[in-house]
Structure 1
Amino acid sequence: MRAHERGRTTLNEPTTEPVTDGRRAKGERRRRALIEATVRVIARDGAAGVTHRTVAREAELPTTATTYYFSSIDALLTAALTQCMEEDSARIEALVAAPGGDKRRVLAELMAEILSPPGHLLAEFELYLLAVRRPEQRAATRRWQEALAAFARQFTHEPLRVKLFAQSYDGLLLQGLLADKPPTADEFEELLRELLPDPGGAALTRRA
């Protein structure tokens, strides 16, 4: 390659890559905005209220944006469920990795916090239930269950108790949504201590 051609290539590189990176970043911002708008629409109107038009309006983007990033409503709902599960899982994983302290109390406070207001949690449950009818969406829930199991293993390695906690956690929040008065952090902590007692505490009874 001649010297002037090498120089021209070098000059072109700084002007093309940032443009590409900028477009990619803009695309990611739009995609995330549409997913977050989907969750807000579900919180307000239920999953039945999700259309390309309602999501675009909520995100303050043109309708063509939703059809560009998501080929169908199912794709949009799957993306929303995946993001919710990833965010929730990351929160529990961070709690597991945090040093010291009584993590049952921290988790109890988090549970009370996400119930007030309950809109986002309600949307998550609607998305969660959609996965029951749509097996292709269940992959998004596996990391969540694994995160809950990892939290339980800080207190016990008994498989039955780990499974009990992982399957009870969502039920506690669902009952909190149904309650006239949401449970307090103290009430959640009492339940968590029953599910995950201190070492040497009461063990689950097994049938012979």
Structure 2
Amino acid sequence: MEATLRVIERDGVAGVSHRTVSQEAGVPTSATTYYFTGLGDLLTEALTSVMDEDSERMRRMSSGGDRRRDLAELLSKVAADPGRLLAEYELFLLAARQPHLRGATDRWLAAVSAFARCYTDDPVRVRNVAAVIDGILLHTLLSDTKPDADEFAALLEDVLPHAPRTPEQA
């Protein structure tokens, strides 16, 4: 999947073919066609892989420590790699055109929602956390300056109540 993501970073989703991915991976084209009969299968697996990885990161942050600061640090690292971020958003937006991909994007949104529910049970605020995170990351793709962890932390303090909820409140 890393080879597929590197192709998307470099050439966009439109640049993905069995040939370009196999060349990037340094394997014969027959290797990619053996595992992925169509490009749709390859892109579905790439999206699923990325969303599952991102969802797992969010789940780990929901389990303790300074959650907002941990998320701010993660967002800062994500923003510092615009090629990878752009590849992830191209795959994410593919789900808007191909509804069968939404299971993977739904897992990411559920993980962000679970994180937000550590702070609030207000459904509007919970939904807005994902929108703010996605919005600021998209804005970083259009800017030459990338927010640092402190800027992300300030943003998260604006959209989430100050104190995390206790397990009894969750």
**TM-score, normalising length from structure 1?**
0.76
Counterpart of 2:14 in structure 1: which amino acid? A
The match for 1:102 is 66
- Would you identify which runs of 4 or more consecutive aligned residues in structure 1 move more than 3 Å? none
Aligned match for 1:60, one of 26, 35, 39? 26
1:133 aligns with 2:133: no
1:187 aligns with 2:151: yes
Question: If you compute each CA radius of gyration, which structure gives the higher value, 1 or 2?
Answer: 1
1:51 aligns with 2:38: no
The CA distance in 1 between the partners of 2:99 and 2:142, in whole Å, is: 26
Counterpart of 1:140 in structure 2: which amino acid? A
List aligned pairs for 1:161-172, cutoff 5 A: 161-172=125-136
The match for 1:114 is 78
The match for 2:116 is 152
The CA distance in 2 between the partners of 1:186 and 1:197, in whole Å, is: 17
The CA distance in 2 between the partners of 1:91 and 1:72, in whole Å, is: 29
The CA distance in 1 between the partners of 2:129 and 2:97, in whole Å, is: 24
The CA distance in 1 between the partners of 2:97 and 2:105, in whole Å, is: 13
Instruction: Report which structure shows greater RCO (CA 8 Å, sep ≥6).
Output: 2
CA offset digits 1:131-171 (Å, max 9, x no partner): 11111111111111110001001111111111111222111
The match for 2:53 is 87
The CA distance in 2 between the partners of 1:143 and 1:181, in whole Å, is: 30
Secondary structure at the aligned position of 1:138 is classed as helix
Counterpart of 2:98 in structure 1: which amino acid? R
The CA distance in 2 between the partners of 1:145 and 1:84, in whole Å, is: 13
| Structure 1 unmatched ranges of 5 or more | 1-34, 200-208
The CA distance in 2 between the partners of 1:126 and 1:163, in whole Å, is: 21
CA offset digits 1:46-98 (Å, max 9, x no partner): 1111010000000011000111000111110010000000000000001112x
The match for 2:167 is none
The CA distance in 1 between the partners of 2:80 and 2:128, in whole Å, is: 25
| Structure 2 unmatched ranges of 5 or more | 164-170
Secondary structure at the aligned position of 1:61 is classed as coil
